Amino acid sequence: MQLHQTRLRLLAAAIALSLPACAFADDGAAATDLDQITVTATRTALTVDQSLAAVDVIDRDDIDRSQAHSLPQLLRGRAGINLVNQGGLGKLTTLFLRGTESDQTLFLVDGVRVGSSTSGLTALQDIPLDSIDRIEIVRGPRSSLYGSEAIGGVIQIFTRRRTTAGVDPRLHVGVGSHGLREAGAGLDAASARGWFGADAGWQRSDGINVCRGIGAPTYAGCGDDTPDPDRDGYRRASLALRGGVHASDALTLEANALRNEGHNDYDANPDFGLPDASDTVQQVLQGKLRYAAGGRASLQFVVGRNVDASRDFLGDAYVDRFDSTRDTASLQGDITLAATQLLTLGYDWSRDRGATASLFTNFDRSRGNRAGFVQYQGRFGRNDLQASLRHDDNDQFGGHGTGSLAWGLDMAHGLRVTANAGTAFKAPTFNELYYPYYGNTALRPETSRSVELGLAQRLSAWHWQLNGYQTTIDDLITYDPMLFVANNLDSARIRGAELTAGATIAGWELSGQASALDPRNRSAGNDGRLLPRRARRSARVDLDRAFGAWRLGASWIAEGARYDDVANTLRVGGYATLDLRAERALATHWVLQSELRNAFDRNYETAAYYTQPGREFALTLRWRAAD
């Protein structure tokens, strides 16, 4: 009871810290950061202010200011997000958005669907921050626009691109705790008729002794009761290329390529011949053609390919491989019916291929999917309306329809109320369909129904948004002990609320995010238990300010306890950490950054038996030519 009250006080403190600017603000225009253009929530250009969905945008300035060294570090503690990491930098990281499963959030890079078709997971830990321009996080179902996997929401990463004429070269080098070494260089150039850019990055860490050992039960968590007492290192090298040309006033062509090669060490039980190292490849290729006809209509065609591959080893001996390839193509037309009414029509095609080879399994499968969608967006006085429908036709599970409806009302004093309802689904992964002694080709898609209410206020000096939601998920796939294969057995009911806020007070930039979650299992035998690996309470507060050549900042992140098993017998305790950062402009082009993560050296885990790093420091020197 005392621990529960402590967590509630921490959550209340985070909310209180997020809202003090109310006493200092008056009515006015929306803040500049709320004018950011987003495209993920509706597949069309909208500002954050106009969106009827819960949307967060992390731009390049936010990334640089955070001094994060990986995408998981950047996303920690943000509204609606629970991250589970298996041992620090570069280690397997899974993301739970609004309490949904880790494979029920759709990830896109420049509009290209990414993630493994075998496991259903996206290798967040391997996506280099050097190449990212901004990240859009859309919370809530989006299957009516994107199809499978978008039950919890969509997270889209946009790679860098210079939009104004000029040249922007840059480089950085850094060192830190646990043998961290990293370096990167990039260049963006643009003219009135086109642009080109490239980024190359390298990162290496000696890591920490990740697995603390299990004891009993023997085969849970790390999978090894006597792990090697060694460090589990990580390294990666990445290259991103991009370019485009305005062939005419109406026609634009562009292409993007991103490739990351990595190596990971971890602990495994050698008695079973299981691997203890992996070589991985993540690759995204994209091409886009956009034609805008006279301002009333536009047509966009996008093609892409994502490769997710790994080769696993025990020592120097090859053990197994997993290969995933996802090819996609999309044709979308946007028609302006009137000044405040937009109709979107689209067609999506995709083909997934998954192949594995090991002592335990060997399969090579593929399937195609075709889908059509339509969306209407209209504004009537102070009311906004959005409605969308989609039908998917899949080689494996046949046809499936989804839809969504959203409404918003602008009120006095910058207040806005929104309401959303939508359905979504996720197709079974290849492992769930074909993996020996587990796969079941008769599986049905997992389906969901969601409703949401939101209230927001956006003024010149501060803004806040409160969203409450409920999601019901049916036909969740799990192991069936009666059939000895996977089956559509489980169901879940998830309720939650999220509060985000930001303000500028006397030169200080203050932002806060807090989430409350009640993710309940509704399956026979586990009815009423909490879904595993989701913290019921989480919060984040960021504080930054510039003082002449200096900039100082801090991030406080807290998460409550969670369970690591379905039966709710293996409890992982909550934690709170404080990160401190400082940077100083040394000259016109040079900046020295320093950071202290987990300043109080808290001992904590997000997955049972996988330790997290203690106190860490890092120094980074950056150079960037002024425009």
- What does the pLDDT look like over 293-340, one tens digit per residue? 777 899 999 999 999 999 999 888 888 899 999 999 999 999 999 999
Distances (CA, A) of 48 to 52, 152, 360, 365, 465: 9, 19, 48, 40, 12
pLDDT for the residue numbered 481? 82
* Spans of the chain, pLDDT less than 70: 1-35, 214-227, 269-272, 626-627
pLDDT for the residue numbered 62? 95
- What does the pLDDT look like over 414-431, one tens digit per residue? 999 999 999 999 999 999
Collapse the DSSP code of 414 into the 3-class scheme (helix H, G, I; strand E, B; otherwise coil) and give the result: helix
pLDDT for the residue numbered 316? 87
User: Residue 166, class by beta-carbon neighbours within 10 Å (0-12 exposed, 13-18 middle, 19+ buried)?
Assistant: exposed
Amino acid making up residue 457: Q
Question: Which strand ranges, in their side-by-side order, compose the sheet holding 54-59?
Answer: 54-59, 132-139, 153-159, 105-109, 112-114
Is pTM, for the whole model, over 0.75?
yes
Collapse the DSSP code of 417 into the 3-class scheme (helix H, G, I; strand E, B; otherwise coil) and give the result: strand
Could you tell me if 67 and 593 are in contact, meaning their C-beta atoms sit under 8 angstroms apart? yes
Domain count, the chain: 1
pLDDT for the residue numbered 18? 36
Domain residues for the domain of 215 are: 2-624
Indicate which CATH number applies to the domain containing 321: 2.40.170.20
Phi, psi of 396 (to 5 degrees): -90, -50
Amino acid making up residue 181: R
Distances (CA, A) of 404 to 37, 355, 369, 429: 22, 34, 21, 24
pLDDT for the residue numbered 219? 44
pLDDT for the residue numbered 174? 98
Query: Measuring CA to CA, which residue among 419, 398, 365 is closest to residue 148?
Result: 398
**Distance in angstroms (rounded) separating the CA atoms of residues 73 and 236:** 16
